[in-house]
Every structure is written in structure tokens, then in C-alpha cells.
Chain A
């Protein structure tokens, strides 16, 4: 479980990136972390990892301050950055030298994930393309069987078949003891996967709710004259809107529309979800 309380961070004294972020991320969910460019999604992931120090507020990972760098926290958490570089050795070799740090690492799992992604774990990592390298590291990260996985733009660089394999693997990976945070702009890639949505904006957390709660309270689709419209936009298939759901019928979640509605009409969304 990851909690943040009144977390603020800025790269310089006159430029705050994150302001007053209070979150309670529970296990058993795949949390989607959304926000405009430069709003601080990656920074929030780095603060959770304890590689940056908050200016005020606190972060707790399983009840522990990650800045304390206690190995037991990090042996149960792994981050997959958007861009990364790995040593020029094979994935098998990389796993051999890294597995002692992750007690639940399973080489059989890694080989299985590699097979799914069509990656040869014996090939040197620098001879793989960026997308293949990402798949290799995802395979390694999943094989570590850690409780917390933080992914920053995981689908960037993945080809179309790999995106669906990625979704399938992540869906089977999560269970009641595991927590996954996906920071992304590619909402269409992970829409079906997320069961909790966090939207950040300049003021703080604009929305933090489960997809179930969102669908119960919000209706997505064409405008009906009786609807209490929160936000509407013109698309190539006609006008679509986000309105208050006053019926018992849930409509399919449209994260892109929800994001636009939250950005355009923050107060209405906040009132609906009791967000400050």
C-alpha cells in the first residue's frame, strides 16, 4: 500500500510541480495515473521510489519512508521508467546478477513472459531495439513477483501485438496483494486494464476514484436533454458528453472524455467525488 499526505515538490523554489497530493493507493488495483504534460506524474513515481525528496508532506510505502532506502521495501517494488538503459549483457545474465535482490524472482516465469513477448533472453540487451528492450525489462520485472510495480509510459515503443500481450500479462499479474501504478498518456492502451483512476492537475489531485465508482456516478455518451451535462465535446461521431449518472445503468468508461471533463470542469467532478 502506498500513501502520500500533503505532498509537494518543485524542481526550484519558484516552480512547484506537485502541490498538496494526498493519495491512498491500495493493493489489489491497477491505478492509472493521468495528467497533462509536466504536471508531475513521473516526479510522483520518483517520489514514491524515494529517489527524490518531497519539499513537504510525506510518502509511505508499506508504512515506511522510501527515502530511508530500506532494502526490504525495494525488494518488493520495481519501477519501469519510460526510457532506460540496461547493461550490455543478456537478459538471462542480467537476471542472474539481479535476482538475489528479489527473493521471489522466478526464472521460469521470466522465460514464459519472454516467450509471450517473443524475446530471446540469451541475446545481449544492447542488440535489441528500444521496444524489445522494454519488453525484456517488463518480463524481468513481472518475474520478480514484487508487490508493487510502477510503470511510466509502459506502452511507448511497444508494437500493437505487444500492447495486447502486455495488457494480458498485467491483468493476470495483479491480485489482492499486488499494486500496479501506470502513468500514461496512452489511455486507449490501458483503458480496459485500469480499475482506479487518478488525475493530477496544477491544484493537486483532481480525481481519485475506482472505475466502478466513476461509472456509477458519471454517464458517458451522447447528450440527452434531461442529462446534467458536466462537459461535452464534438467528435467525428457527433457530440458526446460526460453527465451525472442519475440512473442505475452504468455506461462504458471513456477515460479520454473523463480526463477532458476533469480538466475543463474540475469543480463539478470534484464535487461529485468529494475531492478537495
Chain B
């Protein structure tokens, strides 16, 4: 029995979803229901995208919170912490849930909401099968800058949930404040560097190089945050 077993990760996933089915069900209804209600009231699928996107971005915090709900809960933390599963297995599941399951399910539910609203706009779903669906797929949930943004929020929220001792609200305010400050600092640094090299006479005709550096750095932020989450989870101990 090693410290990592894929079968045990699957068993943990089953345990996690079954024991927290109410939270996941409520959240799924929220992700599906709110855009649906707005879409029906508006008799248009065009506003769904924006609402669904806002729910998707802010819902990332809830998904991260769900991962630690039992490990933080007053009555559940001892039993949840002593479940025979290693930190590696627990973290693998968290990563899978936050980085794969959540974006795909949120996307699928939004798509479902769009399909449900379509008859109100087109009098059927056939009119929908074309550009709109393609737009949602490529520019909404699975559009990579949004995906990375959601992963930054998820990983930050996960880290806060792992580290926070008492007030999650206060810890979230501080945590997100720090992350926003770091992002602003990185953006400022990029702009300054670009200005400096232009001023120094290094004429950059092609913007692709600095843009690629920016993209890599942007993508690396959630990777680094998830790595910190893993270390924090390994070191984590309950207080009372």
C-alpha cells in the first residue's frame, strides 16, 4: 500500500461527493438555475453568457471551500482527517475536482441553460445550433484566459481554506488582497520592463515575445498556488 493509489483517489471521490451531495446539488442548481431564470425573463440567450460567467468565476470560491468543508468543520474534522487516505491522494482529488470537474460541469450546465432558453427566443432549439453554441464553448467557460483566472481564484481560495484557522471571511479578504496585489505588481513589472527596453533602444517590432512571457507567467500563477496548497496540506494540523 503506497502513498498514492488511483483506486483510493476514486474511492475518496465517491466518499466526498456522497457525503457532500447536498452542497454540490445546491451549487449545481444555482449554476444552472440563475442563468436559466434570467434567460427566460429576458427571452434571450445573449445575457446568459455574462451571468453564467460571473457565477463560474465567483463559484470557484465555493468549489474550493467544498474541498475543505469536512476537514474544517467542528464536528467532522477529526473523522475526516483520520480517513485512510494520504495527502497526495487527497490533493489529487482536490486538483481534479477544481481544475477538471468544475469547469466542465459549469460549462455543461450553462450549455443546458442556453438550450432550455432557446425555445423562448427561437421557438425551438434548432435555431440555436450554430454560432451561439460555438461562442459559448470557445469564449466562455473553456476560453483559456478565463479558465486560468478561475484556477487562480480556486487555488487562492483553496489555500485560504487550508490555512485559515477561524474567520474564513477575514482570511479570504487578506488572501485575495495579497493575490490581487501580486497580480497588479506583476502587470506593473511587465509594463515597466517593456517601457524600459523600448526606451533603451531595443526596438521590439514583434510583440509576440513579451506577450508569451506574460502568458507563461499568468499560467504559472495557479500552478505555483496549487503547489503551495499541497505543501500547506501536508503541514496542516487541526487546532482543537
B-binding residues in A (CB < 8 A):
11, 46, 49-53, 69-75, 77-79, 81, 83-89, 93-94, 97-98, 100-102
Contacts and interface: CB of A to CB of B under 8 A. Distances in A.
A75 B11 CA distance: 13
Contact of A100 (B11, B20, B86): B11
Q: In the complex, which range does the number of interface residues on chain B fall in?
A: 20 to 34
B81 interface: yes
A69 to B, nearest CB: 5
A102 B79 contact: no
A75 B2 CA distance: 13
Interface stretch (B70-78, B179-187, B203-211): B70-78
B14 A97 contact: yes
Given A52-B237, A84-B79, A86-B79, A71 B20 contact: no
Given A84-B76, A84-B78, A85-B73, A71 B85 contact: yes
Contacts of A81: 78-79
Contact of A72 (B1, B7, B83): B1
A89 B19 CA distance: 7
A185 B74 CA distance: 22
B230 to A, nearest CB: 13
Contacts of B237: 51-53
B82 A77 contact: yes
Contact of B18 (A11, A83, A93, A100): A93
Given A74-B85, A75-B84, A83-B74, 8 more contacts: A71-B89, A72-B84, A73-B84, A74-B84, A77-B82, A79-B79, A84-B75, A100-B11
Given A71-B3, A84-B79, A85-B75, A46 B87 contact: no
A75 B1 CA distance: 10
A46 B238 contact: yes
Nearest to A89: B18
Contacts of A79: 78-79, 82
A89 B22 CA distance: 11
Contacts of B74: 83, 85
A52 B82 CA distance: 11
A71 B84 contact: yes
Interface string B5-28: 101100100110011101000000
Contact of B82 (A78, A86, A97): A78
Contacts of A71: 1, 3, 5, 8, 84-86, 89
Contacts of B86: 69-71
A74 B11 contact: no
B20 A74 contact: no
Contacts of A98: 15, 83
B239 interface: yes
A51 B81 contact: yes
A51 B20 contact: no
Contacts of B3: 69-71
Contacts of B84: 71-75, 101-102
B1 A51 contact: no
Given A85-B73, A89-B18, A98-B15, A51 B82 contact: yes
A172 B74 CA distance: 32
A77 B7 CA distance: 20
| Most chain B CB inside 10 Å of its own CB: which residue of A78, A83, A85 | A85
Contacts of A85: 73-76
Contacts of B76: 84-86
A79 B238 CA distance: 15
Interface in B1-56: 1, 3, 5, 7-8, 11, 14-15, 18-20, 22
Contacts of A50: 82
27 contacts: A51-B77, A51-B238, A52-B237, A69-B85, A70-B1, A70-B3, A71-B8, A71-B85, A71-B89, A74-B82, A74-B85, A81-B79, A84-B76, A85-B73, A86-B79, A87-B18, A87-B20, A97-B11, A98-B15, A100-B7, A100-B8, A101-B8, A101-B11, A101-B15, A101-B84, A101-B85, A102-B84
